Structure 1
Amino acid sequence: MTHPSIRRALSILTACSLLAAPAVLLTGCGSSNNDSAASQQTTASNAPSREAALNPYLEATNDYNHNIVTFDFSIAPSLDSLRKGEHKEHISLPNFENLKTALEAARSDPKVAGVYPDIDAAADDLLAILKDLEPLATKLKGYYSARTYMTDNYAQSDEMVAQFFPLYDKFDAAYDKFDAVVTDRYKELRLAQIDALRSEGKENAASFLELNGKTRELVEMISGEQVDKNATEAKIGEISALLEKLPSGTGFLSSYKSQVNSFIGQVREYTSGNPDPKKFNNVIEEFN
């Protein structure tokens, strides 16, 4: 099973990947196919509005996931200690407040509401839990910040923790569902954009976007308990083939190709023997 912090790292998505690409990737390397272009007309025409509607949800999940990944060293032990009933001097909890605020803003935005009904529904389920969880978490953090446990021997902490975890466990399941739906819609949007770019003859830009997706897929493939080495090598072959399609150059392109090859090297190092957490961390570092 994928570690929660790794799953969160993989869920940090970018809606506008091409903004980081050099101009050479935005030019074509072949002629446009008119029939293909016509078939993509509807998708291309509504893609900006759908991307705009998805962005607030992407930003909400990215912010929450980034917080979890960055502060996993303190959040995970705190949650574990509280769940065990241990009494500590300090605690660290996820940033529920920012997530709640971001989701409320997204749900009240007329340009967002209704474009992705499944995401809207998952966000509503999450908000229904956050309305009770967020103020409780804020109160619990305030209790520890003020060191109130020095006056009541953790009595209030025990009461709040007893309420916290039933809500948190519901939240965790609802958030995973929400995050998965947002990720699925993101991938669909990316595939449509890749098809549209190819129909316009912008093969370099399409290959760049596809490479970003396939490197993510490769990390997901090796994140489980069992790793299919043959499937891993097949995916590496797909990545290498796309990498060869990109034009040669210096600066960004040279650095990008080198980074992808280093990433592939770390993946092979990890899959060559028994699972090693340190080697997997090297994969994640190269991926990021």
Structure 2
Amino acid sequence: MSATSGSTSDTTRTRRRLATAGFHLGAGTLSALWLLPIALVLVTSVRTFDDIAANGLGGLPHSFTLDGFRQAWVDGGQQRALINSMLVTVPTVLATLALASMAAFALSRYELPLRRTLLLLMLGGNLLPPQILLIPVSRISETLGLYDTLYALIGVQIGFGVGFYVFVLYGFMRSIPVEIQQAAVIDGASPWQIYSRIVLPLTKPALAALSALSFTWIFNDLLWAITVLRTDSRMPITASLIGLQGQYVSMWNVIAAGSVIAAAPTVAVFLRFQRHFVAGLNLGAVK
């Protein structure tokens, strides 16, 4: 019996080892395939045009230069485009989260009429495909005199983002014990004091995760930028990449350098808030 038991145990351990090795092999292969295009872009960005023309995009690099970054940054207008992106992204993230946190606080901590209906409307608005709203949004911005301005893009991003953030923050704030609020009311705290001094500090993990997510979404947006903007000097960096490709056509080192510049801010934000990204996957899960 003991010999049979030992043989079964060895077989189980062997199977587990094989399963673990297979998992790591598969995960490593998928990771390599995912990282390969990124590595190709990085290598291409530091090669010269003559090197790429002579050896091809997939060939081994025979040169190293940062001139592609200079051309993309100065001649290609990436500097101006990056400033435009930051002028849109930072105020939008701050304004959207401020509005969403106040709305979520009111909906989660007080018995407001039609509370569930409002939440469903906010969530339903985010389920609409943006393509069917392109023409209405463009016409509205023209009517308001905001077309081809960064204010129009900021307004659109706030309008389409606040509903989702309210829904997420609502679930997080609902998990905060009501006894904390009741104790603050007994001490004479006003609703604004409860929101700013008690609930908001407790919601910092959720706000940090949403800040990183919203920064990535807004900074990388292309659809709304080309819908409400027309002048090249006002385009954010994602839209400027299209112009960069048209300007330099086959100069892949410049185009790759522009792509690296465009990706750098979001990568930096992700690395800074990566643990909040993981925590953000569970936001709103607690009823």
TM-score, length of structure 2 as denominator length: 0.25
TM-score, length of structure 1 as denominator length: 0.25
**Structure of higher CA gyration radius:** 2
1 or 2 for the larger relative contact order (CA 8 Å, sep ≥6)? 2
